[in-house]
Structure 1
Amino acid sequence: MILQATFLFIGTTEVMFILFVVVMVFGADKIPEIARGLGKGMRTLKDATNDLKSEITKSAEKNGIDTAEYTKTFTDEVQKIKDDVEETIGSVKRKL
């Protein structure tokens, strides 16, 4: 059995096809500009997210809300979901 790496349920051949289409549509000389623009956009989004997080944390501390308790509860719930998904995927993999 040959296993291929997947990213978001997209296989290697699909990624290669998408890259081929991008090169054909935009041309090889425009790809660095597009990548630079995407990088700047992602950086802006990350900065905005960090600002929002710090604002929420400051507001919670100002109002005396314990964020550690909520963070732990959220982390525990996420871990439960991960375990359920792994259990389901494991049973599917065994059947294959």
Structure 2
Amino acid sequence: MNPKVLQLRDQVNSLESHMHSVLEDLLHNIEDSVDRPISTYPIYDKDNLVADMRQRKKAISLEELELQTDISSSTIKRMLKDPSKTSLDNFLTVANELGMKIWIEK
């Protein structure tokens, strides 16, 4: 058989394997998300919201969070102590980076 055909066949097999792996990971993530329902917080229940943020913060260093959000580490520290003393924009940026989807309803 032509070497070029063999090379193409190997590439196709490699791509199929990679696609299968990506789809398996995606399916696994979907299955995991079913076990973790989206948290909701009443507007005046900042304690649970901040506790959830602190828990999620453990998975990332303060320096990494600072680099990813372009918000100073001291601001992030203050935010995690008392989110009412920070801007909504900064709060939403950090929450989003921590994987929290927050929306505000009127």
Same fold (TM over 0.5): no
TM-score range, shorter chain: 0.3 to 0.5
Bigger helix share: 1
Q: TM-score when scaled to structure 1?
A: 0.37
